A and B are shown apart, each in its own frame.
Chain A
């Protein structure tokens, strides 16, 4: 359960409002977040695992305040980035997943076994000792996901996880995310994926302008985008 209580974000440098005060409770299994470039999607989801802190108000995850219990919130909330190459640190797949497990499993043998299991579950067992550099973009994103899931988060936040992938990998990652037994909050420009959610947040200009049924949110978003495109053509 994720709760926004009047949470807003104001840029420290310029006083620009990146997210207007927002109050929400997200308990749906699949939540998609859509909106134009710069509309505040990343700003909103980064609040969920304490990557960013609200300027006013608060954000609670399973009853914990992201400000006061940041470390335990991060334990509950995994975060998948668009570009896996910044997320992957160790030179081989298995070492990278093991790195995630360092905090929870102190015994090295047990850690390696757990890492191998995590890789196996995502279909990368055959690449466990391969250099991260030699993996394809899609495989790297899977590896990043394995590292996140290895620590058993109850919520996964994904900020455009399929934007850099080709169609085949996109379908594969979509299917994997779909099958996860955890709550998934996904920012996406892929409107088909957005429509498959249980609930959609549509952001514009740093505000949640629609919150509800995915098909309705996507229709509104398409309308807004085409009217802006016409405006630009007229100007």
Chain B
């Protein structure tokens, strides 16, 4: 479904060549600027510029257009809410600003290896290492990126299942199983993270042995596959 949406695509565009930290700081500054600069002109400039930046990373067109749908929907919902509260100009501006920042974030993820972004975040948080593990910050970032397509897939499957049971009109028939499956998926991921040792400190155990000494003493010969 969301196959390649928001995922790194190896290309040689200017944005791909920029170091990840420049892009990350650029994204943060642009987001602040987009929301601070008010008025229709600035809003339009921000939106057009952001779309241009996204286009400059040459994202695969089909998955990107398909992937922009949920973001567009979210934009309409949030804009609609403000519209409903009576702030029409504000609603339009907010929606445009939100869409612009989403496009910039997408430009960042399609032009940056997640591994680089994780390393960058790990480094950025190193000064706080006595309070939070820098690696875990990177891991949380990776997991968030991983959860979005997973949850979208689960929502799609649940909607299909609800439709198959003739319950297309009932939001609960989609949302309840989707929530249960998302929870189950999250539990499984948590377990896998533990099993892969990703939640452990990189320091050796208190017994001070290096990983090499901890191997079992039994050597098994390699069997040829049948």
Q: A interface vs B, CB < 8 Å?
A: 1, 27, 29, 49, 51, 62, 64, 69-72, 74-76, 78-79, 81, 83, 85-87, 89-92, 95, 98-100, 102-104, 108, 129, 131, 133-134, 147-148, 151-152, 154-155, 175-176, 178-183
A110 to B131, CA, bound (A): 29
Interface positions, chain B 156-183, Cβ under 8 Å from A, are none
- Cβ A86 vs Cβ B3 within 8 A: no
Candidate in B150, B197, B214, B223 with the most chain A CB atoms within 10 angstroms: B197
Chain B, interface SS category: loop
Given contacts A71-B200, A74-B195, A108-B119, 7 further A-B contacts (CB under 8 A): A78-B195, A86-B191, A89-B198, A91-B8, A99-B198, A175-B225, A179-B224
Complex interface: chain B residues within 8 A of A86 (CB)? 185, 188-189, 191-192
How far apart are the CA atoms of A192 and B188 in the complex, in Å?
A: 28
Q: Are A134 and B3 within 8 A (Cβ)?
A: yes
Q: Decide if A176 touches B214 in the complex (CB within 8 Å).
A: no
Q: Which residues of A contact B41 (CB under 8 A)?
A: none
Complex Cα distance A205/B211, Å?
A: 37
Q: Which of A51, A62, A83, A178 contacts B194 (CB 8 A)?
A: A51
Q: Are B142 and A90 in contact (CB under 8 A)?
A: yes
* Nearest A residue to B224, CB-CB: A179
* Known interface pairs A49-B195, A89-B193, A100-B196; A29-B224 also in contact (CB < 8 Å): no
Query: Which A residues are CB-close (under 8 A) to B126?
Result: none
Q: Shortest 5 CB-CB distances between A and B: which pairs? A: A86-B188, A175-B225, A154-B216, A79-B195, A71-B200
- B221, CB-defined interface residue at 8 Å: yes
Interface size on B, residues (CB 8 A): 51
Find chain A residues with CB under 8 A from B1 CB. 133
A50 to B, closest residue via Cβ = B194
CA distance in complex: A158, B150 (Å): 24
Contacting residues, chain B, for A78 (C-beta < 8 A) = 195
Q: Is the CB of A90 within 8 A of B192?
A: no
Residue of B with least CB distance to A159: B195
A28 to B95, CA, bound (A): 63
B143 contacts A by Cβ under 8 Å: yes
B226's partner among A1, A64, A95, A178 (CB-CB below 8 A) is A178
| Docked CA distance A151–B197 (Å) | 10
**Quick one: closest A residue to B195, CB to CB?**
A79
Closest beta carbon of chain A to B64's beta carbon, Å:
13
In the bound complex, CA of A224 to CA of B12 (Å): 63
